[in-house]
Amino acid sequence: EGILRYRGVDITELVEIEGGFSSVVYLLLYGIRPVGSEIDRFIRTLSQWCELPNTVMDVIRSFGANSHPMAMLIASFAALSAHYHNNKQQSSTDIALMAVSKVSSIIANIYRHTENLGLVRGDTSAEYTKNFVRMMFGDIEESRLAVICEALGIILIMHADHEQNASTSTVRMVGSTGAELFACLSAGAAALWGPAHGGANEAVINMLESIGDIENIAGFISKVKDGKSGTRLMGFGHRVYKNYDPRAKVMKDICHKVLRVLKCEDKLLNIAVAMEEIALKDEYFIERKLYPNVDFYSGILLRAMGIPIRMFTTIFALGRTAGWVSQWYEMV
Is 26:96 a contact under the CB 8 Å cutoff?
no
Can you tell me the distance from the alpha carbon of 229 to that of 247, in angstroms, rounded to the nearest whole number?
A: 30
CA-nearest of 314, 299, 322 to 70 is 314
Cβ atoms < 10 Å from Cβ of 287: 8
Give catalytic residue positions.
238, 295
Can you tell me the distance from the alpha carbon of 22 to that of 131, in angstroms, rounded to the nearest whole number?
A: 12
Can you tell me the distance from the alpha carbon of 208 to that of 232, in angstroms, rounded to the nearest whole number?
A: 12
CB-count burial class (<10 Å; 0-12, 13-18, 19+) for 254: buried
Is 64:58 a contact under the CB 8 Å cutoff?
no
